[in-house]
Structure 1
Amino acid sequence: MGIAKVYSFHMVLSYSRDPFCCFTTSQDLQTFFDCHRRAFAHFGGAPMTIVYDRTKTVVRRHVAPGEAVPLHPEAAGFAGHYDFDIDVLAAYRPTGKGRVERQVLIVRDHVLSGRAFSSIEEMDAAFTAWVPHRRAQIHKTHREVIGERAARDHAALRPLPPTPYLVAERHLRPVGRDCLVAFGGNLYSVPASKVRPRQLIEIRATKSQVMLHSTAPDTSGETLLAMHPRAVGRGARVVEEKHWDGLPTGKGRRTTTGDTPVLPRQGRPRGEESGPLQALLNRAAASRIEVGRRPLSVYDELTGTRPFTTRSQSKDTS
């Protein structure tokens, strides 16, 4: 196996320049917002506004300048849960996040440079050990000790909610005739009594779970149909046996009882076989039957009509 590619996530409090950094091997939606939760725990609260560039984990699609930016549904839900506003930078504004970009270089030069790490945890521990040294420095812009100014920054943060926000991938998938739903190269079961074939259901997938929801609530207002652990790899079938209750079992099909002997295919009488191929063979055999032939005058005598004949006339010129 090759060496995993490592990414760094950075968040900086704008007033004090108090930094946070963590390292990951993925840039997916769950990892992105999990890093937010780690940053909020590091600072002791959530800010009122977070500035983003036009990353696909925050912006659903790009629009023309001056138009409202459509946010990713999970980004909007996460921001609403932690009560902060999303400020998306305008296009072609590379200096809009200069304080964060500068922090990336500082971490690279003072935490990572000249060192070797064997795991992500070692890299996170190295940053945590460096933070007190950074907070003890006087920042060259606001001319104050970063840690002292960070204390005022932390006091202004919003308190964290009692429960974390569950970030999930959301997809629409059809239900198969066997009440299985395909997602991520694997199959997951839903109750046969609550769905119908080809019905669209919503999949909400986290790193560890796959939840299958109906697009319309039932009489009790519930949409959850099933919940399964997320399969590892591809080609797995995650099935709960009771979900198949109500599906046809095949017991009502017509079957042989053993009282009537079944002739082998090569021993059946000619003409009793069925199927498209045998129909063609029967037609070919019928074309070889000898048919009697008689002149048309016989039919004229039977009907009493004179036969239609043509006579050639010639003139003698001699």
Structure 2
Amino acid sequence: MVDHDALMAMLTRLQLTAIRDQFDSLLDEAARREMTLREAVAFLCQREVARKDERRVEMASKIAHFPTMRDLDGFDFAAQPSLDKGQVRELAACRWVAHGDALLLLGPPGVGKTHLAIALGREAIREGYSVLFTAAPALVAALAKAHADGRLEERLAFYAKPKLLIIDELGYLPFEPNAAHLFFQLVSRRYERGSLLITSNRSVGEWGTVFGDPVVATAILDRLLHHSHVVTIRGDSYRLRKKRRAGLIKATLSPEQVA
């Protein structure tokens, strides 16, 4: 008969650490629920798979370089009535990532674009896809430096590798002309190979100003919009709303109040 220590050693060797760490409580639960042997084995395996999935998501999230952790359950859909919750839940299934499509999240500052981008990125990780998150200014700076150092191909390959590349805050700062061409090379490299998720406070009609070159902007949008999903959020900033509630700033006056 195998004693407890020997059993724990075997579970450790097999890397079944969730079963090992919760062994007694799991067996007690299986007994309380009067599971058959087959059901108990399945129950133990489910707990082990859940632990491994949790650790995989945690590790992949670190590799993705998310600035913070967000999920869809924490998003206040009631505060953004212009946003179709059903559409977001459909996007969370990540079929668009599987197909290599682009997703544009557009709207004014503070409406939750970055929150959604991170949450959808984490859903992609749960589905087994590699993800990388970067702010647009940092991305452009990295491409420009690589170009100056003669290592642009290496940097483009780095950004082309993940199945989903999330580019946050496009449009907050205008691009230099050369940076726009570098961005175009990245979009072209990923076109129909890997998905892009871009958040921007500018409508696509304003991207010519953002990139400083309408021709380059058109070429970029031509590729992004070919296989794309566009979500536009029209609403108030969460941060401004909180400040209004706290009385730190005055609420916007209606035309009737102004009159």
Q: TM-score, normalised by structure 2?
A: 0.26
**Larger % of strand: which?**
1
Q: TM-score, normalised by structure 1?
A: 0.23
**Which of the pair has more CA radius of gyration?**
1
Q: Which has the higher contact order (CA 8 A, sep 6+)?
A: 2
**Larger % of helix: which?**
2
